[in-house]
Amino acid sequence: MSTIIVNSVCTIASAALAAFILTRALKRLKNPDLEAAKKRMADLMKLLKLDPKKVKLNSYEVRIATMISMANEGIDIDEIGGCAAILDQLQENIIFPLRLMAAKVIVPSSLYTPPKGVLLHGPPGCGKTLIARAIAKKVDAFFINFDIAVLNDMFYGETAKLTKALFTFSEKVQPCVIFIDEIDSVLRTRQHFDHEVSAIMKTQFMALWDGFLNSDSTVIVIGATNRPQDTKQLCAAFLFECTCRSPTWPLETSSLSGSDLKEVVRLACLSRYRSVIQDLVGNNPSEQQLQEQRIAEITLSHDDVIRTLNDFKIRTMETIAANFISLD
């Protein structure tokens, strides 16, 4: 009798162990990046000096954590050329309010708040992603380059959980910028023929986003698209809209050769340094170090190149006209 009991216990224990191992294997098969995400999150929490006892992350938030970038990985906003008007709008409407909130500066008016979303639209290659990263660096915020493919899970209900995790994780590590490229593929205007999973995801995304609108969180969603007409009806109440246009100077330089372009930039550089070099050559050696410091601080701007380009075109046309007259 005792032998039968022992055998039964061993059988049950073996079955339980096999079930446990199978469950873990299936979980890893379902998400092979889970272990890597957990390790990165442990390193990230140490880097951020977050207390693991106070900040708990579930498995879905850990998956979102694999997409996070540090603020210093972006580009300085002053280094972006060709879209000064857009950058001025973003400074006034997004960056300044976020920096005040981060500094705990109390503004008398409760209306002085940044929008919870920004829609950057324009043709491919006009700098939408670059601008989003520059905003994150300027406000010293984490940057989540959200991969839309993460939402396409084969298990029912996982999409909704991942959508929620995107916002809950961002709130835990705020200030944070969520960047969604081709946002029209996620938040396209609702249609009667939308798939059930897509409809649920859109509804939950907008509900969670609406929750941020009614809070003082420093999480902002930046979407990029070249089809703004597909998102306006759905996101009109949430987004501050900016149109990113391709610079016109490539068309203006289409008739110039590579050597011509190099000459334009060389002339722009000479013009930019002219006044400082004159002071450096004319001053006594005791002031030379000060002038060298001024030289190190000089930068060549987009406007400098455009100004020199226009002068170069005028001189080229004058040369062509003079040669034409001499032939006559």
Of the residues 209, 243, 277, which one is the last residue of a structural domain? 243
Indicate if 283 and 181 belong to the same structural domain.
no
Mean pLDDT value of segment 190-198: 66
Indicate if 172 and 197 belong to the same structural domain.
yes
Of the residues 176, 210, 243, which one is the last residue of a structural domain? 243
The rounded distance, in Å, linking the Cα atoms of 228 and 223 is 10
196-224 residue pLDDT tens:
667 777 777 888 887 776 667 888 889 88
305-326 residue pLDDT tens:
888 888 887 777 767 666 656 5
Indicate if 8 and 24 belong to the same structural domain.
yes
For the chain, what is the largest distance between any 2 Cα atoms, rounded to a whole number of angstroms?
A: 123
Structure confidence at residue 193 as a pLDDT band (50, 70, 90): low
Residue 288 lies in domain: 249-327
Residue 290 covered by a domain: yes
290-304 residue pLDDT tens:
666 666 777 777 778
Residue 127 covered by a domain: yes
Structure confidence at residue 251 as a pLDDT band (50, 70, 90): low
Indicate if 233 and 96 belong to the same structural domain.
yes
The secondary structure element, H or E, covering residue 250 is helix 249-252
Lowest mean pLDDT among 16-30, 59-73, 179-193, 285-299: 16-30
Say how many domains are in the chain. Answer: 3
Q: Say yes or no to pLDDT of 25 above 60.
A: no
pLDDT at 34: 62
Percentage of residues in the chain with pLDDT exceeding 90?
2
The rounded distance, in Å, linking the Cα atoms of 38 and 50 is 15
End-to-end CA distance of the chain: 123
Residue 174 covered by a domain: yes
Structure confidence at residue 143 as a pLDDT band (50, 70, 90): very high
Residue 50 covered by a domain: no
Structure confidence at residue 179 as a pLDDT band (50, 70, 90): very high
Max mean pLDDT among 101-115, 117-131, 268-282 falls in 117-131
This prediction's pTM: 0.64
Closest by Cα among 116, 127, 134 to 244: 127
Indicate if 230 and 140 belong to the same structural domain.
yes
CATH number of the domain bearing residue 159? 3.40.50.300
Q: How high does pLDDT run on average in the chain?
A: 75
Tokens standing for residue 24:
């873990």
Percentage of residues in the chain with pLDDT exceeding 70?
65
Tokens standing for residue 267:
């002339």
Residue 297: exposed, middle, or buried by beta-carbon count in 10 A (0-12, 13-18, 19+)?
Answer: exposed
Of residues 216 and 13, the one with the higher pLDDT is: 216
Indicate if 85 and 154 belong to the same structural domain.
yes
List b or e across 99-130, with b for residues whose CB sees 16 or more CB atoms inside 10 angstroms: bebeeeeeeeeeeeebbbbbbbbbeeebbbeb
pLDDT at 81: 72
Torsion of CA 176, 182, 184, 186, to 10 degrees: -60
